Amino acid sequence: MTTVAEKWAQVLNDLGVRYVFGTPSGPWMVYMEALRNREIQFVLVSNEASAGFMADVCGRITGIPGVCYGTFGPGATNLTTGVGGALLDRSPLLAFTHEMKKSMRGRTAQMGIDHQALFRPLTKWTTRLDAERVEETILRAVHVATSEQPGPVHIGLPADLGPLTATDETYQPEPPHQPDLPDSELLDKLVTAFSQARKPLLAVGLSAVRSNVQTLLLKIIQQHEIPVVLTPMAKGMVSEDHPSYAGVLFHALSNLVAETHSQADLVIGLGYDPVELNYEDWLPDAPLIHIDAEPADLDRSCFRLECDIVGDMRPALERLAELPRVKNDWDFIALAQRRKQMFERMEPKTGIFGPTAAVTILREILPDDGIMTCDVGAHLHLIGQLWRTPEPGLQLMTNGWSSMGFGIPAAIAAKLCLPDRPVACVVGDGGFLMMVGEMATAKRLGLPIVFVLFTDHDLSLICIKQEMKDLPLYGTSLHTDDYDSAKTFFGVPVIPAHDARSYRAALGGAFAADGPVIVEAFVDPQEYRQLVLKGDR
């Protein structure tokens, strides 16, 4: 006789799940034991929000939905922060929470809230497990979570369900979702518009990364010599050294990026997901061609949608790649000068140990195949433009959800999924305070991760925004004047660095360590004020 908990764990094992993240509760014991018997590691976290972020990143890296758990009430509400990240950052995830047993549903009970109502706006689907459909429910959830656009699914676990006997099932999983082929007339319209444009521009977004179209993209921009801009989560799709590279939208020095895209007389949005940045926030007075699995989200009263090519992206790109070179009026010498100016303005200043120096030195030391995760804050805007990313997936951020606290759990998940890769995390002191408890998790797991803590004592991005509105600085100080580095956090050693020389030495020692290390870089935040602009949000 197989219990629901045992069958649940077996289905996860068969799917290839290797980690479940969460904080246990009483009813969870039978599930946790079932995981142990299937050699699926239950990773105890300090906060369920971290469990969601870790599951998100596992889903991004492996393509198999990451799995997380929270208990009744506060466990579930904590979990929602990470689950919301998977929704708006487009990551496949399965979130399990314990719910009241059927006889208590709708009654007043300790920790009792309606989890189905809680998760409905934060997921693609929310449902409840029962003993008759364990495999069917989980496999349907996986199908939903991994179908375009990928995202989270929530499954409630009634409190008395785990020990019950699971019913035998003969469920045939649904085949993987295949995107529709676009209308041939729309492809003809694409070719005509592209051929007639004098300054066509490609804007590449998050969905293009998932669609594995990098080779076709590079062929098109090489053959037709047209510039390309990226959204932050599409970093790595085009090298920063490529002649067509024009920069990342709405991050540091976005005014220089705008000098290119404002000239376009046709914009082709490739896999452009407005969850990162709405078209209207930057689109020039030019027609738009949108190529994605989802229709264009655009205010058509103000902007012209030339054609909306919905479905598989490859046929549209193949048509453009097959065209003989289409001449245009782009000045690539001027583009190269803007690109050079942008990176020169982000070079470290002599005698100042600021965020540009800290990012540049980390990039020099972290191998090209290393993974860097980044938290939300002023430093993210700098990294979005400055950090050279050789391939997609080597720089992990949250930009659809944009939650502080993402960076540390993301690094832990990345190291678990890719143990042979060096992993670093850049986090500001605000985000660090939110997730410092996960230092205990990294230490307990023995993960050699370098956590680079940018300490500038304030919520710098909020300070900049207050200054832009001519408001006094208020409510943004994180530390008292007598703040000093701790020696350790939960057993993780801290190496302070106050200048470039000590910082470089600290990173060298940290990457050579056999466990987690925090390098605390005391950076001068003044650089942000010259690099983060009004249009950078």
**pLDDT score, position 288:** 98
Rounded CA separation 409/403 (Å): 12
List the one residue out of 315, 314, 326, 324 whose CA is nearest residue 225. Answer: 326
For residue 179, what pLDDT is reported?
A: 84
366 touches 421 (CB < 8 A): no
Give which of 200, 148, 156, 154 is closest to 178, Cα–Cα.
Answer: 148
The total number of residues shown for the chain amounts to 537
Does an H or E element contain 186, and which? helix 184-196
CATH class of 184-339: alpha beta
Q: What CATH superfamily is the domain 4-158?
A: Thiamin diphosphate (ThDP)-binding fold, Pyr/PP domains (3.40.50.970)
Tell me which fold the domain 346-536 belongs to.
Rossmann fold (3.40.50)
User: Do residues 516 and 489 touch, judged by C-beta distance below 8 A?
Assistant: no
Cα distances (angstroms) measured from residue 20 to each of 17, 51, 336: 8, 8, 47
Evaluate the CA torsion angle 27, 30, 31, 32 in order and state its sign. positive
CA distance 269 to 288: 7
Q: Which residues contact 12 (CB under 8 A, 6 or more apart)?
A: 20, 35, 38, 40, 67, 138
Q: Could you tell me the strand order of the sheet in which 66-70 lies?
A: 41-44, 19-22, 66-70, 93-99, 152-158, 125-128
Phi-psi region of 178 (alpha: psi -120 to 50; beta: other; left: phi over 0): beta
Helices (H), 388-478: 407-417, 429-435, 438-445, 460-468
- For the CA atoms of 200, 205, 209, 211, the dihedral, rounded to the nearest 10 degrees, stands at -70
User: CA dihedral defined by 345, 464, 453, 369, rounded to 10 degrees?
Assistant: -40
The widest CA-to-CA distance across the chain, in whole angstroms, is 72
| Residue 533: predicted pLDDT | 58
pLDDT of res. 535 = 46
Give the pLDDT confidence score for residue 451 in this predicted structure: 98
| Cβ proximity of 193 and 307 under 8 Å | yes
Name the helix (H) or strand (E) containing 229.
strand 228-230
Q: Give the domain ranges of the chain.
A: 4-158, 184-339, 346-536
What are the E-state strand segments in 304-394?
305-310, 371-374
Name 513's Cβ contacts closer than 8 Å, sequence gap at least 6: 448, 493
- Per-residue pLDDT of the chain in tens (537 residues, 90 and over written 9): 899 999 999 999 999 999 999 999 999 999 999 999 998 999 999 999 999 999 999 999 999 999 999 999 999 999 999 999 999 999 999 999 999 888 778 887 888 889 999 999 999 999 999 999 999 999 999 999 999 999 999 999 999 999 999 998 877 888 888 888 999 999 999 999 999 999 999 999 999 999 999 999 999 999 999 999 999 999 999 999 999 999 999 999 999 999 999 999 999 999 999 999 999 999 999 999 999 999 999 998 889 999 999 999 999 999 999 999 999 999 999 999 999 999 999 999 988 999 999 999 999 999 999 999 999 999 999 999 999 999 999 999 999 999 999 999 999 999 999 999 999 999 999 999 999 999 999 999 999 999 999 999 888 888 888 888 889 988 988 888 888 889 999 999 999 999 999 999 999 999 999 999 999 999 998 888 888 755 455
Contacts of residue 71, defined as CB under 8 A and 6 or more positions apart, other chains included, come to 23, 24, 25, 27, 28, 97, 98, 111
CA 208 to chain centre: 14
